[in-house]
Amino acid sequence: MAEGGVEAGRAGFGEETVAVEFGGDRTGRAPLTWGQRAIWHAIRRTAPNDHYFNIGRVLPLADRGRPATVAEAVRAVAALMERHEALRTRLELSADGGEASQDLAATGTLPVTLAHAPDEAEAERTAHALLDRLSATRFAYASEWPVRAALVAVGDRVTHAVLALCHLAADGHGAEVLVRDLRLLVRRGSAGRPPATTPLDLAREQHGETGRRRGAAALAHWEAGYRAAPATMFPDPVAAPRAPRFWTGRIVSPALARAVAAVATAHRVSGSTVLLTAAAVLVAAGQGHRTAAVMPIVGNRTSAAHRDLVTTLSQDGLFVLDTGTPQDTSTFTDLLPTAYRAALRAYRAAVYDPVEWDALGERLRTESGTEVHPYCCFNDMRLVERPAPPGPAPTAAGLAELRDRTVFGFPATQERVACRYCLHITEEGDALAVSLTADTVYLPPEMIRAHLYGIEELVVASASGRAPLLTGVGELLETAGKARA
């Protein structure tokens, strides 16, 4: 046994595998929480490419404070496993693999990769290479712990910790809680009071009478929204599939970041609402719909008991927006107050049992004779929105200058995703990074590019004092980004 109660074995040049033993307070079994059920359904639809859902984080540990020794970092990883029950929870599958429940273990051993680097620059590269490697394969949900971990050391000092997480154990917010807690455990030996609840207890609450009533109310919103919107936002194939079939386009735009903040401030809505509305009106215009239906990923973290809970709480909401008639003289920004209220309704109705949600979809499909599903998703992955900087709003000239720094590319492709339009929002320095993963049968690469540049054009024009008419959004989409080709 090595220092700190761990056992190490060589796994290749420059690496060791460290067996980290941990012990929690209890065991238990329960149904999946609704958030876990939702992601489990998505995983099954996407398999065998479900590594798409893995969540990865790199935690620098040499940036400030006293560097941690390997033994201290190993003890911190063990303490993290003990603190958060989600990391000790695996799936228990039915004989046919269709039904799943959660099985909490009290004790176990986590294999942790310990990589050695000659200096901090190489340590940084090694950490990101490990992140890519650990995130690149699907989890063995019934037998593998839902976290893969690595440490990078220069000598005996740990410079980076790497976590690759199964989405059944954590969503994006939960991943940030783990990063914060691991940093505190490394630096101080403690992360403070334990979370107020656990995934096991949450599952029992949701499957009780109070949870069922709340879920029924949420699904009433979904049914009303489904009946008001098109059956799907992308009904007709328009091109032969590319190989691979799904392409991801990505735009990184400082101008969009400034413009979103300015428009949100001017119209007293959130920046996320501005981006959601822009995406919705572009999709509706591009597909010839008056009403847009988009499924935003909702974090469901408003309860104080859930803010530090590591689990998957995120579920889909249903955002339905009437974009007006062909005779309407309204502009994009005129739509924002209505869109903000529609977004709030979507967020409030994003906690429900996915089994009952599936049953609703099947009932409406039988009734209408066609599948009812928007296949249009929106995921603002920022934990907080950056406020508008102090001082005057950006000028049209200033935003035009910033647009010269916009970068676009197609960074990824994959063979299977269970959607036709998936928009993700993140930040990169002073810019917003917006990526769109789409089915090339419904949105060929040139249209992926047009939608991303269209979002930038719509919001930047609005921040520049010339908000486009809603009746002109289709034309804007046709020309978006062509001058930069």
Q: Name residues whose C-beta falls within 8 Å of residue 12's C-beta, 6 or more positions apart in sequence.
A: none
Asked whether the predicted pLDDT for residue 291 surpasses 80, the reply is yes
User: What is the mean predicted confidence (pLDDT) over 60-69?
Assistant: 84
Mean pLDDT score, 108-119: 97
Rounded to whole angstroms, how far apart are CA atoms 140 and 138? 7
Are the beta carbons of 421 and 245 closer than 8 angstroms? no
- 369-384 confidence digits (pLDDT tens): 999 999 999 999 988 8
pTM attached to this predicted model: 0.88
Q: Is the pLDDT of residue 12 over 60?
A: no
Percent of the chain whose predicted confidence (pLDDT) is above 70? 96
**pLDDT higher than threshold 50 for residue 430:** yes
Is the pLDDT assigned to residue 109 strictly greater than 80? yes
Amino acid at 331: T
Question: Is 74 within 8 Å of 4 (Cβ atoms)?
Answer: yes
Rounded to an integer, the average pLDDT of 154-162 is 95
Pairing of strands 68-69, 157-165: antiparallel
Checking if the pLDDT of 102 tops 90, the result is: yes
CA–CA dist 369, 148 (Å, integer): 44
Average pLDDT, the chain: 93
The pLDDT score that the predictor gives to residue 485 is 59
pLDDT at 73: 97
pLDDT at residue 49, rounded to an integer: 87
Report percent pLDDT > 90 for the chain. 86
Please write the tens of the pLDDT for every residue from 433-442. 999 999 999 9
Question: What would the two tokens of residue 31 be?
Answer: 């149904």
Could you tell me the pLDDT band of residue 13, with boundaries at 50, 70 and 90?
Answer: very low
pLDDT of residue 483: 66
Q: Are 113 and 9 in contact (CB under 8 A)?
A: no
pLDDT: which is higher, 385 or 161: 161
Burial class (CB in 10 A: 0-12, 13-18, 19+), 367: exposed
Judged against a pLDDT cut of 60, whether residue 8 lies above it is answered with: no
Residue 9 has pLDDT above 80, yes or no: no
Range with lowest mean pLDDT among 119-128, 230-239, 337-346, 383-392: 383-392
Predicted local distance difference test score (pLDDT) of residue 383: 80
In this structure, is the dihedral angle defined by the CA atoms of residues 176, 135, 110 and 116, taken in order, positive or negative? negative
- pLDDT on residue 4: 40
pLDDT in tens, 296-354: 999 999 888 898 999 999 999 999 999 987 778 899 999 999 999 999 999 999 999 99
Residue 6: pLDDT band (50, 70, 90) is very low
Residue 11 has pLDDT above 60, yes or no: no
Per-residue pLDDT at 389: 80
- The whole-angstrom separation of Cα 275 and Cα 419 is 19
pLDDT in tens, 169-226: 999 999 999 999 999 999 999 999 999 999 999 999 999 999 999 999 999 999 999 9
Q: What is the pLDDT of residue 380?
A: 96
Token pair of 345 as six digits: 């309704």
